[in-house]
Amino acid sequence: MTAKTIAALLKTEAKSQDIEIKGWVRTFRANRFIALNDGSTLQNIQCVVDFETMDESLLKRITTGAALHIKGQLIESQGKGQSVEVQVTDIKVLGDSDPETYPIQPKKHSFEFLRENAHLRTRTNTFSAVMRLRSTLSFAIHKYFNENGFYYMHTPIITGSDAEGAGEMFRVSNLDAKNPPLNEDGSVNYKEDFFGKETNLTVSGQLEAETYAMSLGKVYTFGPTFRAENSNTSRHLAEFWMIEPEVAFMDLAGNMDLAEDFMKYVLKYTLDTNREDLEFLEQRLKDEEKTKPQAERSEMSLIEKINFVVDNNFKRVSYTEAIEILRDSKPNKKKQFKYLIDQWGADLQSEHERFLVEKHFKCPVILFDYPANIKAFYMRLNEDGKTVRAMDILFPGIGEMVGGSQREERLDVLKEKMKALDIDEKELWWYLDLRKYGTAVHSGFGLGFERLVMFTTGMGNIRDVIPYPRTPQNAEF
Ligand code: 4AD
């Protein structure tokens, strides 16, 4: 007999058949009822022990956190809340758990405490639900692209180019940090480094993805991305996962359509497959919101919010229109914004993005045609000579979820832009080659995976939607 998962057993009709399960004890009540969980579902299966026939020393070892192998019969449940339960005939303790020191007690723990115990936090309902949803979202992403004719491309993690030009990169080197080889002018001689040049962990796979879009047509990357920015916020990680599609012969409007269609698809898929986890997280959020002042509470429940995104068009607004809305807004006039909007060209801060999405439009917003000087070098310059075909997608409660653009496909314009920003043509010779040999309109975007997981699960801190978060001063586990 093969052991079935608890998820499968809970869907099985009980006919007193012999079954076997393996899992971890959540609780053991009255020396009789074991709530066992194996991670396959949010639900525990109730295993009923006849303590009169069980060895007492064995019963003592059934503690929260212990791993058990249980044999028994699947019967219709006598109790409330579950349809089936297991009448235990045999228990083997596979791994004991010391109830005095086991960190995950059957009570409410703070998320801070659970972050310190991230190796065990997926034994709680909240984190197991979040991580199952994270897995489903990943699968839905691959499924969407696969069904829509995209090739999955693995862009390099170690790179010699700085895609975003932001200079917030982690250096990769095997030089002796205490005694690096030096040039005559005292600077470090990276020619002697492992790769014979300065290399870093990638901030984006975009530039390499563009090379494949310009031969395979439609590609996407989905991989780890690194930023050495010292942002200690609830929305930033030093290591996060990014999804980056890149498509030849597609303009900015097509890019917006793709992003919207893609996000709706993955959210819908998740609603259809992980209902139980979502309902649990929805209730968690409702309970959490009860502790907040009325004005800060969300008007919609978690599932309503997801459905709202799936069922409604994203609002498309130009940067110029957004600036007008912000300039005339109450918080701007009353000087409630930390950064007041007084003229065109201002970079939008998260307070502005949140106002637009949460107070003004009350739906996801695609902002496009940003001023060229606040965006990356590779974005397509518009005919006005001052804006670029950029788009950011802003989500309620999250802020920026997606950043993308139509790419500059004209060699002369791109070279000029690089020159103005002091980007060495020699570093990006291969990127310029794409514009020399068969250049074409092309576009793409990057979606921060953890921000999507935050939106879907209603978790308020990005550290709680990735197994082992990397943030300034923190790389435990
Ligand atoms: O806007 P970004 O920087 O865009 C790019 O990297 C482009 N090369 C993407 C492309 O066009 N292919 O980042 C894209 C998204 C952001 O919208 C945000 O969701 C997420 O990545 N992101 C982060 N997520 C977590 N922690 C951070 N430090 C993040 N920085 C960006």
Q: Where are the domains of the chain?
A: 6-102, 123-168+203-464
Whether residue 128 is predicted with pLDDT greater than 80 in this model: the reply is yes
Residues 6+ apart with CB under 8 A from 189: 180, 181, 182, 183
- Asked whether 202 and 163 are in contact (CB, 8 A), the reply is yes
Contact 93, 58 (CB under 8 A): yes
Give the C-alpha separation, 124 to 53, whole Å.
Answer: 31
Kindly give the distance from the C-alpha atom of residue 242 to the centroid of ligand 1, in angstroms, as a whole number: 7
* Cβ neighbours around 315 below 10 Å, total: 16
Give pLDDT tens digits for 321-368: 999 999 999 999 999 999 999 999 999 998 999 999 999 999 999 999
Per-residue pLDDT, 297: 83
Cα separation, 224 vs 137, in Å, equals 16
Q: Tell me which of 206, 226, 242, 443 to substitute to probe ligand 1's pocket, judged by most ligand atoms within 8 Å of the beta carbon.
A: 242
Phi, psi (degrees; rounded to nearest 5) at 126: -60, -50
* N-term to C-term CA, the chain: 37
List of residues 6+ apart from 205 with CB closer than 8 A: 153, 155, 156, 163, 221, 223, 225, 242, 244
Query: Which atom of ligand 1 is found nearest the CA of 244?
Result: 12
Determine the distance separating the centroid of ligand 1 and the alpha carbon of 246, expressed in angstroms: 14
E-strand stretches of 32-99: 33-37, 45-48, 67-76, 84-95
Q: Is the four-CA dihedral 134, 135, 137, 138 of positive or negative sign?
A: positive
Q: What would the pLDDT profile of 29-44 be if each residue is shown by its tens digit?
A: 988 999 999 999 999 9
Mean pLDDT of the region 383-409: 96
- What are 284's two structure tokens? 């968690």
**pLDDT average, residue stretch 231-238:** 94
In single-letter form, the type of residue at position 80 comes to: K
- Which pairing describes strands 442-448 and 399-406: parallel, antiparallel, or unpaired? antiparallel
pTM (2 decimals)?
Answer: 0.96
CB-based pocket (< 6 A), ligand 1:
163-164, 204, 206, 227, 236-237, 240, 242, 244, 400-405, 444-446, 448, 450-451
pLDDT tens digits along 258-294 = 999 999 999 999 999 999 999 999 999 999 999 988 8
Pocket-testing residue among 145, 222, 240, 378, ligand 1, by greatest number of atoms within 8 A of Cβ: 240
What's the CATH fold of domain 123-168+203-464?
BirA Bifunctional Protein; domain 2 (3.30.930)
pLDDT > 70? residue 417: yes
- Is domain 6-102 annotated with CATH 2.40.50.140? yes
Which two tokens mark 403?
A: 């950043």
Cα separation of 236 and 250, whole Å? 30
